[in-house]
Amino acid sequence: MLRYVLFISTYIASNGTWSQTERIGEVQKGEANMSKLKDKDKVAVSTDGMYVILGASGNTGSIIADSLLSNGKKVRVMGRDAGRLQRFVRQGAEAFTGDVNDGAALTKAFSGARAAYLMLPPITSREDQERESDAIAQAAAESGLPYAVHLSSYGAHVPEGTGPVTGLYSSEQKLNGIGGLHVLHLRAAYFMENNLAAINIIQGMGILGHALLPNLKLPMIATPDVGGYAAQRLLDLDFSGKQTRELLGQRDLSMAEATAIIARGIGKPDLRYEQFSYDQVQQVLEQMGMPPKKAAVYIEMFKAINASVLAAQEPRSRENTTSTSFEKFVQDVFAPAYHGKARTAQA
């Protein structure tokens, strides 16, 4: 998924204002608690059971919540801001306010649910990632959650050296350790929406810049395609055990190719891509107040991408290829955002 790439570009471009789209140490104890809950309360998994959506106000979670609600499903949307959940409540959803690192709150939210959509929030630190995935896994085990679709990232098969994606590897392993939980890990590609962070750079510097190599091809995917795929798998619940599925978007693109498509879409034919050095990126992040250790986590990820350590493992197929092209994304999303920001700046 590599959704974290967005945040470094946004941080560079927006004067330090982050733009946000979105271990169980005792697994055996968790499994025992799950069994105890099932034996005591006889939780029934029915076809009209509750679906719990973490990150329901985010790019993928909102698509999933809308889809399930439109299909007449019972939906519990969870988030920290009750106000951002109200649009789902108006559609018939149940709102649950809580923090993803609160294992007790998550256990309550998951109790009696048929299935859940699980995801980690944007990284604040690797330590926080571990606490969050601990809480999610603990709650999944103790509540007896039967099914889960887990938003991960392509490259999450690598156990270390991948920056924030290391936390998704860890999260996958914790969920895989829960007996009785059927989980599908969606290893999504680089989000096309990450490129929206480049609008400020284009308007301010006349280039599109990043730490990524200009000619390295990456699978790129639109977040509605991720949300739509996850929603369908939640509706079907056609997976069992512990499974992974890469979602690779419509095709692979390099940053140079993506920049050329953006250039045509916004009417700036001379727009070019420029690769920033790792030292430049690290320095900018530190100047904007990010602790050196945290900035280094992002640098580690960019290095892993450029070295092809973070790379797709599945051959491209009909099953892991989605429909939205980068041209369509630029036409429908990037260009309107770019021109809208330009009009706002001129007002």
The fraction of the chain above a pLDDT of 70, given in percent, is: 84
pLDDT number for residue 12: 40
Other beta carbons within 10 Å of 108: 15
End-to-end CA distance of the chain: 36
pLDDT tens digits for 212-231?
A: 999 999 999 999 999 999 99
| 16 against 81, higher pLDDT | 81
Per-residue pLDDT at 38 exceeds 90: no
pLDDT tens digits for 246-291?
A: 999 999 999 999 999 999 999 999 999 999 999 988 887 787 687 8
pLDDT number for residue 341: 75
- Of the pLDDT bands very low, low, confident and very high (cuts 50, 70, 90), residue 171 is very high
- Of the pLDDT bands very low, low, confident and very high (cuts 50, 70, 90), residue 91 is very high
Residue 276 region, left (φ>0) first, then alpha (ψ -120 to 50), else beta?
A: beta
pLDDT number for residue 70: 97
pLDDT number for residue 286: 84
pLDDT number for residue 25: 28
Is the distance from CB of 128 to CB of 101 less than 8 angstroms? yes
Measured distance CA(4)–CA(193) in Å, rounded: 11
Q: Mean pLDDT throughout 141-153? A: 98
Token digits of residue 148: 């889960």
| 346 against 316, higher pLDDT | 316
Q: Mean pLDDT throughout 299-315? A: 95
pLDDT number for residue 22: 35
Closest CA to 151 of 63, 81, 87: 63
Per-residue pLDDT at 39 exceeds 90: no
pLDDT number for residue 289: 80
Q: Output the pTM of the full model.
A: 0.85
Cβ neighbours of residue 187 under 8 Å, at least 6 residues apart?
1, 152, 153, 154, 155, 156, 157, 244, 245, 246, 247
pLDDT number for residue 344: 64
pLDDT number for residue 29: 31
Other beta carbons within 10 Å of 11: 22
Closest CA to 145 of 226, 54, 70: 54
